[in-house]
A and B are shown apart, each in its own frame.
Chain A
Amino acid sequence: MTPYLAVINARFRMLLQYRIAALAGMSTQLFWGLIRVMIFEAFYRSSVAVQPMTLPEVVNYVWLGQAMFAMLPWWIDSEIRTMVRSGTVVYELVRPLDLYTFWYFRAIASRAAPTLLRATPLFVCAFLFFDLQLPPSLGSAAAWLLATLGALLLGCAISNLIHISMLWTIAGEGVIQIVQVSIFIFSGMIVPLPLFPDWAQPFLEFLPFRGLADIPFRLYMGHIPAHEIWSMLAHQLIWAGTLILIGRFLLGRASRRLVVQGG
């Protein structure tokens, strides 16, 4: 276990160096959040019908989405991409470590460090100036924290799958783009999932992506009551487990038939 924890430690320290980048990222996120909030305000102004979420809930949802933006598996670890392109990925394969676990822990650090850096000031800003509310109860806050952890585990399983897919198709960017968009739309980052048409709900509830954003966000504001945390966590972890198994299987296949590029 030690080498894997060392990976987390090293990457954390490296990524926490990029404080200015985090600040720039944060201002981008504030800007985006504001645009989204204004669009939703306009939609809510024009409708008198009762919606599955109230406007303050949607505003919370948007800000949580911006705060947790870096945690979603929508970006590729450019070092792994370079390794696959240049062929240095063989060094990864000869390490006396389990490659899947190694990459998984690396992903945990790469998602958690920038999220921590960005989310904290963003929370403060959104809370002070932009109508973000605190969770209604301690139970909701605890449920949110737990589900966020679940989202991290699930997100890393997905990002590992994306990284492994690069071993098969070097020019797989088109496919990766489609996966990234699916992540955005089906996790609730673009439109909060409860606002999708009713016929789409069973489909959205089944997919793994809601575990990345929708579940923790709605637990935060009590839109999903805190006592449902266990079934929500189960949804996240069962999917994470399934995707880890698929990823391990694919990585095993890939490393047996791997053709290394470069010389």
Chain B
Amino acid sequence: MLDNLRLYGRYIGISFRGQMQYRASFIMLSLGHFLMTGLEFAGIWALFARFESLGDWSLPEVALFYGIINVSFSLCDATSRGFDVFSTKNGEFDRILLRPRSTALQLAGQELTLRRIGRLSQGLLVLLWAAHTLGIPWTPDRILLLLFTILGGACLFYGLIVFQATLSFWTTESLEIFNTMTYGGVETAQYPLAIYRPWFRRFFTYVIPLACISYYPSLALLDRPDPLGSTVLFQWFAPFIGIAFLILSLQVWQFGVRHYRSTGS
């Protein structure tokens, strides 16, 4: 375990130094990423300027949802590049199989995409603004819940990307449909789940447990009763489901690896 961590550290170090060779490009891309996500938030702000509120949700409350989901996603996005571009098409995977380390570790260590710091810092800014404006009492347990939620969210998105990569064992090409789930999930979770139609809420609760890493724990942070009627205890422990989702997806990945047949030459 410790050995694996050390290896992962080495991988990340290499990736870091590699990207720092193109420093100007890195800065431009991060800045572009920052402004891109910033303008998205400007869109939300413009809607609030026009409508004043979204049901009984205020702009700072929506900003909390926005901040949490964007920070979670950017953490996943920065570390999951290896799985994201994974494809069995060129037979590259044979090389990875030959090495005496776990395949998941090698793919995870392929790249730490530094420019995602653009979305991360933008999400953090919005999150801090929301946390400040809402006057949430930041007791240690709340801070822990926030960190736990972000971790759960990153795990959930990571799990989705691992699922997408796993499918490529059978389909060779990776499927765009999972992009809909990840980016669509981020878009969805930027607003409280309660505003959506029931079938859509059910999809993002039971099929893809997005609500468990954004909506429910955020309610606990906000100390708001749930219009959908969940209990406080559930809200505090819901992010576990995101972690469970990642563990499940890694099991399916192992199953996929056993079914791998080499292509390419």
- Alpha-carbon separation in the docked complex, A42 to B110 (Å): 42
Does residue B49 face the partner (Cβ distance < 8 Å to A)? yes
Does residue B53 face the partner (Cβ distance < 8 Å to A)? yes
The size class of the interface chain A forms with chain B is 35 or more
Cβ-defined partner of B51 (8 Å) among A21, A47, A171, A184:
A47
- Alpha-carbon separation in the docked complex, A172 to B54 (Å): 38
Does residue B196 face the partner (Cβ distance < 8 Å to A)? yes
Given A47-B52, A185-B43, also A174-B196 (CB < 8 A): no
State which residues 62-99 of B face A: CB under 8 Å.
none
Given A27-B180, A177-B36, also A46-B55 (CB < 8 A): yes
Does residue A35 face the partner (Cβ distance < 8 Å to B)? yes
- For B38, give the chain A residue with the smallest CB separation: A181
Q: Is the CB of B46 within 8 A of A171?
A: no
- Alpha-carbon separation in the docked complex, A91 to B191 (Å): 49
Q: Is the CB of B200 within 8 A of A34?
A: yes
Q: Which of A24, A41, A43, A171 has the most CB of B within 10 A?
A: A43
Does residue B177 face the partner (Cβ distance < 8 Å to A)? yes
- Alpha-carbon separation in the docked complex, A90 to B241 (Å): 54
Please list the 9 inter-chain residue pairs (A to B) with the smallest Cβ-Cβ separation, ordered nearest first.
A174-B28, A177-B32, A174-B32, A42-B195, A171-B25, A190-B43, A181-B36, A43-B51, A47-B51
Q: Is the CB of A174 within 8 A of B191?
A: no
- Shortest Cβ gap from B37 to chain A (Å): 9
Does residue A173 face the partner (Cβ distance < 8 Å to B)? yes
Residues of chain A contacted by B196 (CB below 8 angstroms): 38, 42
Q: Is the CB of A175 within 8 A of B36?
A: no
Q: List chain B positions with a Cβ less than 8 A from chain A.
A: 22, 24-25, 27-33, 35-36, 39-40, 42-43, 46-47, 49-56, 175-177, 179-180, 184, 187-188, 191, 195-197, 200
- For B43, give the chain A residue with the smallest CB separation: A190
Q: Is the CB of B46 within 8 A of A195?
A: yes
Q: List chain A positions with a Cβ less than 8 A from chain B.
A: 21, 24-25, 27-28, 31-32, 34-35, 38-39, 41-47, 51, 171-178, 180-182, 184-185, 190-191, 195-197, 200
- Shortest Cβ gap from A82 to chain B (Å): 17
- Alpha-carbon separation in the docked complex, A190 to B40 (Å): 8
Show 24 A/B contacts (Cβ-Cβ < 8 Å), sorted by A. A28-B176, A28-B179, A32-B180, A38-B195, A38-B197, A39-B191, A39-B195, A44-B51, A46-B51, A172-B28, A173-B32, A174-B30, A176-B32, A178-B36, A181-B36, A181-B39, A181-B40, A190-B39, A191-B43, A191-B46, A191-B47, A195-B47, A196-B50, A197-B46
Q: Which of A39, A182, A184, A200 has the most CB of B within 10 A?
A: A39
Given A31-B184, A34-B200, A35-B187, also A46-B28 (CB < 8 A): no
Residues of chain A contacted by B188 (CB below 8 angstroms): 35
- Shortest Cβ gap from A27 to chain B (Å): 7
Additional 11 contacts, C-beta under 8 A, given A43-B50, A47-B53, A172-B28: A24-B176, A38-B200, A39-B195, A43-B54, A46-B55, A46-B56, A173-B25, A176-B32, A181-B36, A185-B39, A191-B47
Q: Is the CB of B35 within 8 A of A178?
A: yes
Residues of chain B contacted by A200 (CB below 8 angstroms): 46
Q: Is the CB of A181 within 8 A of B35?
A: yes
Q: Is the CB of A43 within 8 A of B42?
A: no
Q: Is the CB of A28 within 8 A of B25?
A: no
Residues of chain A contacted by B46 (CB below 8 angstroms): 191, 195-197, 200
Residues of chain B contacted by A51 (CB below 8 angstroms): 50-51
